[in-house]
Chain A
Amino acid sequence: MSEILKIAIIFFVFIVFSIGPLSIIDKKNKQIRLNFLNYNLIINLNILLFLSLINLPIKNYQLIYIIILILTFFYILHLSKINYSHIIKKNIINFSILYFSFFIIAINISSNLDLGWDAKYFYYIKSLFFFEGLGLNELGDFKHNKWHPHFGSYLWAFFWSLPLVEIEYFGRLSYVFIFCFSIYFVTRLPKKNNYSLFLYLIILIMLFKYNRFSGLQEILIFSYLAIASKILYDLDDKKNLLDLISLILIINLIMWIKAEGIVFSIIILSILLINTNILVKEKVFIFLSFMIFVTLKYNVYLFYDFDLNAQPYSFEKFFSLSAESLYYRFKNIFIYFGYYSLINPIFLIGMTLTILLNFLNYDKILIRNFNIYFILNTLFIYSAYLLRDIEVVYSLRTTLERVIFTSSGFYVYLIILFVNKKFEKWKIS
């Protein structure tokens, strides 16, 4: 089978992870429920994460897992007794746009192939462990395993090792799917189909860069932050237990992708805990779930003898810095933070809107969520580089652009909401 044909087909394998186990069909409106596509994706990714932790070789369950999802989907479809042709007709344009945008980006990746520096250094090699049927036991012996958690590499290996495919970059195409899906999810506005599609394509055009899909993991956290941002906002409007659970599961996923994921998890948790629309017992449930996930991660690291403290941060060194040295760090963080914010349109617009929101008569939920995010995210960036035990300018030059990109994911939905409010009088729908 030619590579192009495989690329054309692989989208349908990815979409399988969104169509089960929960039913995606809204029987009443005869529509596909986008929220449920999202829940399914997050649930399935958490199941894959769990399977990776118990050291089950991918090949042992991969096909069975995919077949079960497909069968579940058709069984639910059969039970729902709805007219397929109606659903297909109603969703064909949306599906085509999502499909072709994925295909266009996938072709670019299959032609380019170049891996990012960190991908060559450890992400690819970690994924090779899983590809060859090895697991966390063996990964502990790889000296660069310590830098970041394994889940992004595991996902890469899962789709790389699909039967009849077994080509490295197909694993990375799963990142493209998650990215496209997250942008599609956040740009979807009720009763504004065409307008949503315009926004989807515009955001995709603004964000696409080959490097984001070169095996680096920032794109995954970016995508989950974008999804989390929308769910957090919608919670105030219409609280739903599945939304809460999906946020908790997103918090869990983010922790297993990159070391700094835990910080983004804590930021999402803080926004949830401050939300006045969530009951105290729900907050206790959310907090306990978070603690269970953190404890689980800690114990997995202990069990597999992974380095818990590999990141180059030092409080001791920080407290021994002279005032002059501290000023030097502070000044450089300010300069580089400013520069990288300016060259990332989503981050720049998002930050500006967050500040402006406080002076505009906008809804309070928006102001609260994005103010908390803005403050905690800025604090995180500053403290990360103040505490880093590496020459600060070198460190800023090599990593801050990616940190800003990751952080910008949360602002995508703010921009969508703002554009929607500003231009709703256009009434394109």
Chain B
Amino acid sequence: MMKSYFNYKTIILSFLVLVLLFLTNFFKSFLNVYSNNLNERVSFTYGFCENESIGYLKYLKREFKLDNNPAIINYVHTPPVEWSIFEPSKLNKYSTDTILLNYPGEIINLNYQKKNDNIFEISNLSFFINKIEKIDSILISLNQSINLDNVGIDLLSEINFGKRNFIKNFNQPQQTNKDEIKFEINLNINDLYSKNSNIAFKINNIDNKYISGVKILAKNKFILENFNIVNNHTNCFLIRNE
């Protein structure tokens, strides 16, 4: 009797089912679904007021009467989040509401990637298009004082067939203090973005070993005191045009 039930085919099949169970984290997933409701699992997956902040968006939709489909500005680069509270019947209707997620304050420190030869790349310009008007300045922190003659920054285009083209040069650094220099660049982002999906800055005539940090700064389009704040949770805000 035992033999007929536990032959090698059954053992192989059971083994394969077990592999599938472990590969899919079945028991952990089962426990998660069993012990947490859908809203809780959504918050675990996307965060409440962090990263995509879907938990906060769903909370706003539940607790407030949102005006049509509000614009959502997320200052952390994540996949789109509009889907979470989108209402198709209110498509393309003007909304007086705006939701700010992971709001960084009035000044935004733009993320960049450091490449070779003192090249600093802003890889996704479109991300900033609804958050800033222009890139205001670049701050370079130094380990020691250096001669500022010939120090400059080249603005380079997106990569076209493996190389970047020169767009513009900035050559008037201001010494803000002993260890820091500043370039006022005032670059309008709309002028750049239409032609480039990414840009790079190349710092000339400063040895890499003297640079301790670089900040690319821009003024936020959304200054909270200009709006009516309807709800706030840490760095997430629901604001309304007054």
Any chain B CB within 8 A of the CB of A75?
no
* A104 and B13 contact, CB distance less than 8 A: no
Interface residues as binary, A157-171 with B (CB distance below 8 Å gives 1, 0 otherwise): 000000000010000
CA distance A26 to B145 in the complex (A): 88
Binary contact track B32-46/A, C-beta < 8 Å → 1, others 0: 111000100110011
Quick check: B24 and A107 within 8 Å, CB to CB? yes
What is the minimal beta-carbon distance from B5 to any residue of chain A, in angstroms?
A: 12
**Interface: B158 (CB within 8 A):** yes
In the complex, are the beta carbons of B89 and A101 less than 8 A apart?
no
Cβ contacts under 8 Å, B30 to chain A: 4, 107, 111
Q: Give complex CA distance A100, B28 in Å.
A: 17
A117-B79, A167-B38, A391-B159 known; A111+B91 contact, CB < 8 A: no
Interface status of B20 (Cβ within 8 A of chain A): yes
B83, A101: Cβ atoms under 8 Å?
Answer: no
Which residue of B is nearest A134, CB measured? Answer: B88
Residues in A90-128 with C-beta less than 8 Å from chain B = 97, 100-101, 104-105, 107-108, 110-115, 117, 119-121, 124-125, 128
| B79-121 contacts to A (CB < 8 Å) | 79-83, 86-89, 91-92
Which one of A141, A324, A394, A428 has the greatest number of beta carbons of chain B within 10 Å? A394
Interface contact A111-B88, CB-CB below 8 Å: no
Given known pairs A104-B26, A125-B88, A141-B92, the reply for A4 and B16 (CB within 8 Å) is no
CB of B1 within 8 Å of the partner chain: no
B162 within 8 A of partner (CB) = yes
Q: Is there an interface contact between A202 and B16, defined as CB atoms closer than 8 Å?
A: yes
A132-B26 in contact given A110-B33, A167-B38 (Cβ < 8 Å): no
Structural contact, A141 and B91, CB atoms closer than 8 A: yes
Consensus secondary structure, chain A interface: helix
Using CB atoms, name the residue of chain A closest to B8.
A428
Residue on A with the closest CB to B16? A201
Contact yes or no, A101 B20, CB < 8 A: yes
Q: A108-B29, A111-B29, A125-B86 are in contact. Are A208 and B16 (CB under 8 A)?
A: no
Chain B residues in the interface with A (C-beta under 8 A):
9, 12-13, 16-17, 19-21, 23-26, 28-30, 32-34, 38, 41-42, 45-46, 79-83, 86-89, 91-92, 158-162, 197
Q: Which residues of A contact B (CB under 8 A)?
A: 2-4, 7, 97, 100-101, 104-105, 107-108, 110-115, 117, 119-121, 124-125, 128-129, 132, 134, 138, 141-142, 167, 194, 197-198, 201-202, 204-205, 208, 324-325, 328-329, 391, 393-394, 428
Q: A119-B83, A194-B9 are in contact. List 10 more A-B contacts (CB 8 A).
A: A4-B30, A97-B13, A111-B28, A125-B86, A128-B83, A134-B89, A142-B88, A198-B12, A198-B13, A205-B16
Top-6 shortest CB links A-B: A111-B29, A201-B16, A108-B24, A111-B32, A325-B161, A129-B88
